[in-house]
Amino acid sequence: FNGPSMSIPWMPKEVSHRLFERPHETINVKTTYLLSTAAVAGFLAREDGKRPAWFNRARLMPVSALTPDLQEHLANCCHVICMKVRQEVTNEHGLRGPLNGRPSTQWQAGLLCARVIWRALFSAAAAKAPASKRAVPGVFMAACEGLKQASQKLLTKVWREVQVQFTSKENKYRNMKSRPAWSVLEAHQFEVFGKDRGFGICDPAVVAPSSAAASSVLWRNRIAGTKPASNLQDYLEEVLALRFAVDWMAMSMEDAQEFLDQATKRAYKRPVLKPKAAPDPVSQTLAALKEKTVDSFSLMWTDDAELRGVASLAIRLMDGLEGPSALPFAATFVGQMLLAMWKGVAPLLAHHAATGIARIAESHAAMGRLPAPQLPEPDASTSRTAVFDRVAASYDRPSKDCEELVNALPRGVLGSIIKAQATFRGYVFRARYFTKARAVAAYCKAVAWPELHPQLEGETVELASEKDKKKKSKSKMDKSGMASSKADATNLNQTISDFQPRVSKYLGGEGNTAKPSVSSPTNSPMHKMGSTMGSTKGSQMAGADVRNRAWPLPTADHRACADLFALYMFNLYRRKELTNMWSTLCKSYERGMDSYAELLHRNPALKPMLESIAAQLKRGSVVGYDKAFIAKHKKEPTEQQGRVKPVDADIFKSKTGKQVGTMGSTGQATELPKDKAAAASPGATATMAMSMKSMNLTVGEKPEDSEVQVTGEYLTNYLKEMDGDDSQFKDINAAVVPLSTGSSPPRLQPAESILKTEELNDKTEEARPGSTSTPAKSRPKLDTTFCLTRCKPIWLPIKAHRFAAYRAKVLQLLPQRVLQQYIDFEKQGQYSACIKLLESATPGSLNVLSPASMVSGKPLLVETVLQLIVGYSGLCLKNQQGAIAVKLITQVLDNMSLSLRDLHPGHRTVLEAYLFDTALSVCYYMPNDVTLADRSQSFFQQASERYLRLGHINRYCKCCLRAAAVLHLQGSKSEAEYYTQQALNKLSDAPVSSLLAICYHNLAVHTVVQ
């Protein structure tokens, strides 16, 4: 218990020394070892139905060695335990009303069942060994501590293995769907439980699961397992099971510690605090039953009568084992019943594991960091493994900043830091384990266990409480047997002169080693000789006494040194922080200057504004910045009311909240004449309102979802690459149909328009090669059929964004030998081959249709290729090559999740919405493609959800109109009407625009056709 492989921090050294060194205490250690191994076997064999069997690889008595009737009784008891635990972990305990001490969650209910069953099984099995009854609580706590430490270590190893097996941290081909072999998990389990902690299990690499020995009464015919390999669900269930085991063992030790405190108080006849009397008779009856079982360690009290009955059933089954082999068979019984308990907890672990997988995205696997599975809030706050993922991450290589700071420390400082950490760890150690150590020490003293020498036959043990009573009674009696409380006045002076003070060795004295001298006259020769010999002896033994003395108490000099050291460490920290601030400011200034230089190079129109800023700065340096930049409250001349002030006229003028929120003052200064105001078109008004709204959003308001907002260095690089065009991150204008201009065709009357359309149709029919008959020119019959054939919704096409610029950029990235081949494929319409050639691009592979080999860290180039593919799809549809367009857009959507992994979340959301919207447009032009038509509704849902997240209302409305047009072609008229109505609801508060007009038109078409 005090060795390097399994140290129990709260056990007193004398207790652990006697347990290991004294032969008569070996049976207690053996019992603890067997029952701990049985608990480990039950934990490892909980999934023997679907993974390689573990129970037959534990060094326990096999189940097949039991008699048939014992096997049947054991199977029935295991079934009862499994059903009881499963009932507790699947019920909703919060719906039962007031708790009154009952568990409030499923996790707590499962822990309560495990604590009661484990304590009952351990006590009943320990009774089969020739061990002392007094030793059971102590060795029970020792077994729980060993199992808890092993579970904590295995939890760290398994979680680190999860980050390796199911992410691309070490292997780029690994992801959430990886299927590692069971041997990977078994190797960690054997390393912790077998090698490190020394439990009795065999090496799974040497001893394979065999059908010769039945591994479990629950899984007799399924030894090899039904699953050939593990998955993420299995690993997360293993993590949650280990968290459950840690909480289980920690709470079991707390229960045992409470029993030790009560037993110690009863041994010393101290008053035990009794709970207040319950008002209702049911609670009073339960309290009376609890008082009767307070002396029994085997039966832990619980208000659940069913659970008490299950524990009693297990104890009665164990009582039936007799003979010299009772302890090995009892260990097998313990392992099988704990296996049944784990079978009952399995639904709870599977549910939490599935919930944890639902929180994991593919981006986590790509970054190499999966989030830990979380427990519900009441359980997470009380769990002993709340930050186990951080503990596992602490075993990774330290960060670069940490290594640099350690290397930069002066000589001798690192040793001082280690000493300070050791002191703090000692404080934490004391705060965490002192109460357990005190409880165990007091209990061992009260019950006189473990004994220094074996107890002889017929000898009775004298308890510590009886010794204390004898000492107290003896101190109160004098030689004559009468109580004495007064000092003897005859020899009082002699007693005072011969008194030898005893100073504790912790305060610098010699402790109890210095014996008081014999009372004799101080002036006798013998006294002088004795004192001389004592001084000589003291000088000879000075070295030994110094070694035994404690360190002196801290003085003012020690405190001053400690303050100086703390000040030195704080100054080191401040220097590091100031260096980081200075470095950040320098980089920010340099980046800002580079950005301004690039903007001035690309847009020469900014130079006048820069000159105006320079002039104001120069003026401020001469007359003072307060006079140059603070607004002057004076009225402008009346003759300048018609002029519009330039943007940079008052660039340093402070704005109040009212001026930022509204445009009232600007509107007064820029009021136009009535004739000019009347000439403004509604579309221009709507455009101006939208521009002002977006301006107010950037100044004062915050968007609804900050995760999709592209800011910082990423946005700067994007604007540099796109020549300042950020229209993709903003909503479109509601004027989706351009207004009529002087070059627009004249508007016709409805009757003339119908006749002209019919004439065009007749000419088209005559121009066909197979047409020989000349149709007679006649007016069409305006009936219902004629009208319904021409009732079609207006289609709003989606345009390729900067197709020419993106194509030119891609051509510049190709080598000269590939460029001509690319152009030839483009002329032939083989666009898939063109994308294939992008694997030879200068920065690296840009083939988004094969993202596994694509270059990383180039998000803007990935967007370029995707926009190029959208343009190629439009060309295919224009050239009657719909099958090629369908193939291109389908491949892009199937590989989109991996090809967009390097993009900013906001940029990625924009592109995903754009690609799904493009796929919806392809569905409109290819109505005969059954596969694409079945996915059209999914395309709309994906695109519309992203548009709403981005806050692009007009794009969402256009997407709704496109989806309605596609459903109209497919015959789903009612769904088309519903989607159009959704777009109309979004535009209920919007100003009049062509988008609103098209919504009403298409809604009328859908309703008329129905």
Q: What is the reported pLDDT for 895?
A: 81
The answer to whether the bond into 180 is cis (omega within 30° of 0) is no
Name the most confidently modeled range: 72-81, 705-714, 972-981: 72-81
Of residues 542 and 102, more confidently modeled:
102
3-state DSSP call for residue 2? strand
Amino acid letter, residue 885: A
| Residue percentage of the chain with pLDDT more than 70 | 74
Mean pLDDT, residues 209-234: 64
* Of 125-134, 547-556, 879-888, minimum mean pLDDT range: 547-556
Mean pLDDT, residues 589-596: 87
Q: What is the reported pLDDT for 118?
A: 96
- pLDDT tens readout for residues 798-852: 877 677 777 888 888 888 888 888 888 888 888 888 888 888 888 888 888 888 7
pLDDT at 600 exceeding the cut of 70: yes
Q: How confident is the model at residue 552 (pLDDT cuts 50, 70, 90)?
A: low
Contact 871, 797 (CB under 8 A): no
Name the most confidently modeled range: 194-208, 686-700, 761-775, 900-914: 194-208
| Residue percentage of the chain with pLDDT more than 90 | 27
Q: What is the reported pLDDT for 445?
A: 92
Mean pLDDT, residues 225-242: 92
Mean pLDDT, residues 24-30: 91
Handedness of CA 470, 472, 473, 479 (dihedral sign): positive
pLDDT at 766 exceeding the cut of 90: no
Q: What is the reported pLDDT for 982?
A: 86
Q: What is the reported pLDDT for 636?
A: 44
Of residues 850 and 696, more confidently modeled:
850
* Closest C-alpha to 330, from 66, 54, 113: 66
Phi, psi of 56 (to 5 degrees): -75, -5
pLDDT at 878 exceeding the cut of 70: yes
Contact 962, 917 (CB under 8 A): yes
| Residues facing residue 58 across a β-bridge | 201
Q: How confident is the model at residue 401 (pLDDT cuts 50, 70, 90)?
A: confident
Place of tokens 């320990």: 126
Place of tokens 């000419």: 763
Mean pLDDT, residues 316-323: 90
Give the DSSP per-residue string, 459-477.
Answer: --PPPHHHHHHHHHHHHTB
Of residues 427 and 155, more confidently modeled:
155
pLDDT at 77 exceeding the cut of 80: yes
pLDDT at 129 exceeding the cut of 60: yes
Tell me the CA distances in angstroms from 89 to 172, 244, 374, one per residue in order.
39, 12, 17
Mean pLDDT, residues 409-413: 79
Amino acid letter, residue 983: A
* Number of residues that this document lists for the chain: 1010
Of residues 832 and 122, more confidently modeled:
122
Q: What is the reported pLDDT for 412?
A: 77
Of residues 267 and 276, more confidently modeled:
267
Q: What is the reported pLDDT for 293?
A: 58
Contact 718, 710 (CB under 8 A): yes
Name the most confidently modeled range: 407-411, 557-561, 652-656: 407-411
- pLDDT tens readout for residues 176-216: 999 999 999 999 999 999 999 999 999 999 988 864 334 45
Q: What is the reported pLDDT for 955?
A: 86
| Residues facing residue 7 across a β-bridge | 2
pLDDT at 532 exceeding the cut of 70: no
Q: What is the reported pLDDT for 627?
A: 60
pLDDT at 670 exceeding the cut of 60: no
Q: What is the reported pLDDT for 2?
A: 38
Rg of the chain (C-alpha set) = 43
* Average pLDDT value over all residues in the chain: 77
Mean pLDDT, residues 504-509: 58
| Residues facing residue 477 across a β-bridge | 483
pLDDT at 483 exceeding the cut of 50: no
Give the DSSP per-residue string, 410-473.
Answer: PTTHHHHHHHHHHHHHHHHHHHHHHHHHHHHHHHHHHHT-S-SSPPPTT--PPPHHHHHHHHHH
Pairwise CA distance, residues 63 & 7, whole Å: 32
Of residues 216 and 120, more confidently modeled:
120
Mean pLDDT, residues 675-690: 38
Q: What is the reported pLDDT for 331?
A: 96
Q: What is the reported pLDDT for 429?
A: 83
Tally: H helices and E strands in the chain: 41, 0
Q: What is the reported pLDDT for 781?
A: 74
Contact 709, 906 (CB under 8 A): yes
Of residues 471 and 1000, more confidently modeled:
1000
Contact 960, 954 (CB under 8 A): no
pLDDT at 465 exceeding the cut of 90: no
- Please classify residue 504 by burial: count the beta carbons closer than 10 Å to its beta carbon, then call 0-12 exposed, 13-18 middle and 19+ buried: exposed
pTM: 0.50
Pairwise CA distance, residues 339 & 42, whole Å: 4
Pairwise CA distance, residues 982 & 518, whole Å: 108
Name the most confidently modeled range: 30-44, 388-402, 734-748, 763-777: 30-44
Residues near 641 by beta carbon (within 8 Å), at least 6 away in sequence: 669, 671
Q: What is the reported pLDDT for 914?
A: 85
| Residues facing residue 483 across a β-bridge | 477
Which DSSP category does 298 fall into? Answer: S
Q: What is the reported pLDDT for 199?
A: 95
CB atoms within 10 A of CB 164: 15
Q: What is the reported pLDDT for 531?
A: 42
- pLDDT tens readout for residues 326-378: 999 999 999 999 999 999 999 999 999 999 999 999 888 888 889 999 998 88
Q: How confident is the model at residue 778 (pLDDT cuts 50, 70, 90)?
A: low
pLDDT at 219 exceeding the cut of 50: no
- Please classify residue 390 by burial: count the beta carbons closer than 10 Å to its beta carbon, then call 0-12 exposed, 13-18 middle and 19+ buried: exposed
